[in-house]
Each structure stands twice: as structure tokens, then as C-alpha cells.
Amino acid sequence: MEVARQRREKMVNYEREWVKAARQASRASREGKREVAEVRKNHTIQFEAHFENLKETYKTLRDYRECRGSRIFGSNGLPFRFFLIQRRSILEFPVRTWK
């Protein structure tokens, strides 16, 4: 009788320890998931901030290119060409003709 009782106690204690270990493992897993979620959240926030800065940079560059394009397009007008023709005639050397 005594041996059977000790055996049962041993089995019950073993089962309690097993349940306790399982609870600790699941708790650690939940805490780990929370920690991973927090790290992901921080990375997401940092990425969004970096991406917004990158988007703003590209937008500024695009605006600059559009501005340059419009200036070049506007420079093809008659007054600008006339100015270039005048400038060329001033800078060019006179052509020598042989008789």
C-alpha cells in the first residue's frame, strides 16, 4: 500500500511539474510574440518614416526635373533664339574670303 501511494504521489508531482512547465513555455511564447510584435511595430514605424523621407526626396527631384523641362521648353521660344543668334554673330570670327 505504501509503495502504491508513493508511486501515485510521484506521478501526480510529475504531472504537476509537466503542466507547470507547459504553462511557463506557453507564457514565454506569448511574451516572445509580444516582444516580436513590438520589434516589428518599431521597424514598421522606422520604415514608414524612411519611406516618407524617400518619397519626399523623389517628389522634390521630380518637381526639379519638371521645372528644368519647362525652362528648356520655354527657352525654345523666339526671343531666346534671337539672343543666341546675336551672341553667335558677336563671338564668331569674320569669314575671310579669298579673291
Domain segments of the chain as ranges: 2-91
CB burial of 58-94 (b: ≥16 within 10 Å; e: otherwise) equals eeeeeeeeeeeeeeeeeeeeeeeeeeeeeeeeeeeee
pLDDT tens for each residue of 19-78: 999 898 888 888 888 888 888 888 888 888 888 888 888 777 776 655 555 555 444 444
pTM flag (> 0.85): no
